[in-house]
Amino acid sequence: KWKKFAATEFSNKEEFQREVVRHVETTLARSLYNCDELAAYSGAALAMRDKLIIDWNKTQQAHTLADQKRVYYLSLEFLMGRTLDNALLNRDIKDYAVEGVSELGFRMEDLIDQEHDAALGNGGLGRLAACFLDSLASLSYPAWGYGLRYRYGIFKQEIIDGYQVEVPDYWLDFNPWEFPRHDITVDIMFYGYVRRYTEDDGSTVNIWEGGEVVQALAYDVPIPGYGTSTTNNLRLWSSKPSTGEFDFQKFNSGDYESSVRDQQRAETISAVLYPNDNIDVGKELRLKQQYFWVAASLYDIVRRFKKSHRAWTEFPHQVAIQLNDTHPTLAIVELMRILVDKEHLDWDTAWNIVTETFGYTNHTVLPEALEKWSVPLFQNLLPRHLQIIYDINLFFLQSVERRFPKDRELLSRVSIIEESNPQVIRMAYLAIIGSKKVNGVAELHSDLIKTTIFKDFVKIFGLDKFTNVTNGVTPRRWLHQANPQLSALIKEKLGSYNFLKDLSLLSGLEKFADDKDFQKEWMDIKFRNKQRLAKYIKDTTGISVNPSALFDIQVKRIHEYKRQQMNIFGVISRYLSLKAMTKEERAKQVQRVSIFGGKAAPGYWMAKTIIRLITAVSEVVNNDVEIGDLLKVVFIEDYNVSKAEFLCPASDLSEHISTAGTEASGTSNMKFVLNGGLIIGTCDGANIEITREIGEERIFLFGNLAEDVEDLRHAHRYGKTPMDPALKEVCEEIQKGTFGEPGVFAGLIHALTEGGDYYLVSDDFASYLSTHKLVDEAFKDTAAWAHNTIVAVSRMGFFTSDRAINEYADEIWNIDPVKVDN
């Protein structure tokens, strides 16, 4: 009955068209005769959005009615990318949208290309959160994401004279995918002091007061599931001056400037995403962001829980909160503050509720990425929270002392407070102590955290608290949307698109692996995807690349542990070998295009130097007429989600070559294999599980194992490791000035020599180069290559984020799906 009032339900191209036109003419106030691609995109987006809102309301209603346990995914990063194409595909209306706009004179691809990426994240952790939202909705779980609505997402990268230059990413000019909820605001306090007094009944009460107040305003983003009406909510908080705080007194008395300054100070909190990936810098503003977001989210969650008038002890049966890394760990402390200071529960009852509610996902073992907050800084900003942390620590250490009497070393090792100068709060320890479950993101990583950084906690809490959930990626965006031709070919073979909901069905492809016609169609699609990339490279860099050459891609954040430096040293080595060959020898070589992309954190000097070396090598190699198409080197500017969508389908080979034991999982490795590419990689992160699934004859593994890293590093420190000869040759070539002023690259060479080669480039270099030779040989046999990529894809079912989310739901959150009627 209600449906017939829903004007925006459309189910054919005419209706879609009508809605686009209506929005262009009325919402945007433009004439159709003056409608450019941006206006047409906007009209299409608004039409799609109307449809999503209806499903979204239905979903929220169904969830309220079902009154089941919900999960809240707290993440400081959501790397969503574009929405229109994804929403059209998830709702299965792309076909008539394409026809609808084509009759208006537009190509859908051009409209889709008008959309700005929502880039509220750095890399893997942020993109994982986005894949998880897609899976949560597609599997109909009652789930909310909570994050910050940054005015500036991750910076845009420009390459100027070979160097990275950062440009602000202002993305909110036109964003139809969000809804401000002017009625949903929360006042958040900072600074101030704690007033303690004794009640008549003798109990002590702590009141945090006298601080400055900032207001959090909710913006909601609908998250459409695939093949279901479920449309979940992502709630992002934006900061603004609290209504009481904007100083009208000052304003009226003429102190206009300082009243505007106060306003700006409030808005600063959600102004910009910190552009650091896997490196902690400990800035006060970031702590402010964390508390602001966590406090607003918890207020919201608690308010929703209170509506059901249940006892507090029911809280963990209604609410699961997942902490995406330690960034939201303050939520543990804030919930304690709410329960003890405001709701007057006794400490133990409150603590039981808290430790039944939270789960903590760790994404790294790198020491420089583990968050620590200086106690003086923290005390000034959040005085009451520091007291609560001290109490949590005290009770925890007392319990450890009882179980392990007289082990003072253990106590100091596991204390939340590190006795450095100044003292610091170890957020990971707080997250472990306050959570029911702790998980790593791939098997090796989950094993490593249990045996290294968290081993004392395994001893204290037992093994059951620590678990693994191997990451996954959503096949909707990373197969169906990014590679529509491959998705359609698979559908043709399997009979339906059901594999997009149950990726294990891909196994049905394996029987076609030797079918010559199928192989041809398969490889033709790869070729067309490479042609599209070649055109993009030509248009944006001027470099011509041969689409028949082997495309070797490494795209990810630039970091020494990910070893882009090893890749470019390998390219130099290949260049030197080619130069040394006769014409006849050269003619037998496999042509290669080495493609790099990724952002360096603005303050990460070494990462920026790696980018400079890549661009310097590309200038020399690409202009060497003797080399021609045998080797091209390309740096793709401003790597982001929408670029990943056309890069992943265009690789023959992708590189996942981190020093063993450093890459927690990696997720682009999964995307590349899912799109019919092979991998060269180390025994690290999810590469290991990918190998197990697809078979070791289909992956080019090389290098030392995680268990040997410590000894190898030790050997370097004591000068026992001569540099690999091929690497030495590369260094000498750089020092000769072949790639420009060698002083520019001195830091990179120093890291390999006096620096102790911490990332073991030299130790792995010989096996890296010889493995690349195997790749060349394998690539010459097109039929075998086709066979191997088909088999690999058919065995990738495990790496869907649907599987990961089902594991979280069953083993950590204890939640069930809620059906939403169509």
Q: Which helix (H) or strand (E) covers residue 609, if one does?
A: helix 605-622
Candidates 277, 334, 560, 764: give the one binding ligand 26Y (CB under 6 A).
Answer: 277
Closest to ligand 26Y by CB, 663 or 733:
663
Site for ligand 26Y in 589-648 (CB under 6 A): none
Is 803 a residue of the active site? no
Question: Which of 568, 486, 471, 476 minimizes the C-alpha distance to 530?
Answer: 486
Binding mask 427-446 for ligand 26Y (x = CB under 6 A): --------------x-----
User: Would you count residue 278 as binding ligand 26Y (CB under 6 A)?
Assistant: yes
Angle subtended at Cα 529 by Cα 669 and Cα 691, rounded to the nearest 5 degrees = 25
Site for ligand 26Y in 117-136 (CB under 6 A): 122-125, 128
Residue 671 beta carbon to ligand 26Y: minimum distance, rounded to whole angstroms: 11
Is 692 a residue of the active site? no
Closest to ligand 26Y by CB, 79 or 509:
79
Residue 396 beta carbon to ligand 26Y: minimum distance, rounded to whole angstroms: 23
Is 671 a residue of the active site? yes
Catalytic option among 363, 385, 530, 574? 363
Catalytic option among 51, 477, 671, 698? 671
Candidates 52, 369, 486, 613: give the one binding ligand 26Y (CB under 6 A).
Answer: 369
Candidate segments 97-105, 273-281, 740-748, 785-793, binder of ligand 26Y by CB under 6 A: 273-281
Question: Which of 611, 620, 618, 617 minimizes the C-alpha distance to 165?
Answer: 611
Q: Is-contact 416 394, C-beta < 8 A?
A: no
Please work out the total of residues on this chain that contact ligand 26Y, with binding judged by CB under 6 A. 23
d(CA 33, CA 100): 17
Residue 390 beta carbon to ligand 26Y: minimum distance, rounded to whole angstroms: 23
Three-state secondary structure along 775-807?
HHHHHHCHHHHHHHHHHHHHCCHHHEHHHHHHH
Catalytic option among 556, 574, 599, 698? 556
* Helix ranges restricted to H, 235-382: 248-252, 256-268, 284-306, 315-318, 330-337, 347-357, 375-381
Q: Which residue in the block uniquely carries the two structure tokens 């860099």?
A: 541
Residue 278 beta carbon to ligand 26Y: minimum distance, rounded to whole angstroms: 5
Closest to ligand 26Y by CB, 440 or 649:
440
User: Would you count residue 371 as binding ligand 26Y (CB under 6 A)?
Assistant: yes
| Parallel, antiparallel or unpaired: strands 424-426 and 417-418 | antiparallel
Residue 590 beta carbon to ligand 26Y: minimum distance, rounded to whole angstroms: 30
Site for ligand 26Y in 465-504 (CB under 6 A): 471
Q: Which residue in the block uniquely carries the two structure tokens 């073992």?
A: 365
Closest to ligand 26Y by CB, 123 or 676:
123
Residue nearest to ligand 26Y (CB): 124
Distances from the Cα of 723 to the Cα of 567, 750, 754, angstroms: 17, 12, 11
Catalytic option among 51, 82, 450, 557? 557
User: Would you count residue 63 as binding ligand 26Y (CB under 6 A)?
Assistant: no
Closest to ligand 26Y by CB, 428 or 616:
428
What is the length of the chain? 822
Q: Which helix (H) or strand (E) covers residue 634, if one does?
A: strand 631-636
d(CA 597, CA 443): 27
Is 556 a residue of the active site? yes
Candidates 363, 437, 574, 632: give the one binding ligand 26Y (CB under 6 A).
Answer: 363
User: Would you count residue 664 as binding ligand 26Y (CB under 6 A)?
Assistant: yes
Structure tokens at 195: 């007033």
Closest to ligand 26Y by CB, 125 or 793:
125
Is 69 a residue of the active site? no
283 contacts: CB under 8 Å, gap ≥ 6? 274
Q: Which residue in the block uniquely carries the two structure tokens 């050459």?
A: 549
d(CA 193, CA 776): 66
**Secondary structure of residue 544 in the 3-state scheme:** coil
Q: Which helix (H) or strand (E) covers residue 727, if one does?
A: helix 725-736
Residue 714 beta carbon to ligand 26Y: minimum distance, rounded to whole angstroms: 25
Q: Is-contact 335 298, C-beta < 8 A?
A: yes
Candidate segments 34-42, 275-283, 306-314, 808-816, binder of ligand 26Y by CB under 6 A: 275-283
Q: Which helix (H) or strand (E) covers residue 148, if one does?
A: strand 143-148
Question: Which of 360, 332, 327, 282 minimizes the C-alpha distance to 121?
Answer: 327
Q: Is-contact 717 791, C-beta < 8 A?
A: no
d(CA 685, CA 663): 5
User: Would you count residue 684 as binding ligand 26Y (CB under 6 A)?
Assistant: no
Q: Which residue in the block uniquely carries the two structure tokens 């102590």?
A: 433
Closest to ligand 26Y by CB, 607 or 630:
607
Is 667 a residue of the active site? yes
User: Would you count residue 654 as binding ligand 26Y (CB under 6 A)?
Assistant: no
Structure tokens at 352: 């039981």
Closest to ligand 26Y by CB, 331 or 441:
441
Catalytic option among 659, 667, 771, 800? 667
Question: Which of 651, 477, 669 minimizes the C-alpha distance to 82?
Answer: 477
Candidates 75, 229, 232, 276: give the one binding ligand 26Y (CB under 6 A).
Answer: 276
Residue 134 beta carbon to ligand 26Y: minimum distance, rounded to whole angstroms: 15
User: Would you count residue 362 as binding ligand 26Y (CB under 6 A)?
Assistant: no
Candidate segments 82-90, 269-277, 291-299, 541-549, binder of ligand 26Y by CB under 6 A: 269-277
Catalytic residue IDs: 363, 556-557, 562, 667, 671
| Chain residues in the site for ligand 26Y (CB under 6 A) | 122-125, 128, 274, 276-280, 363-364, 369, 371, 441, 471, 663-667, 685
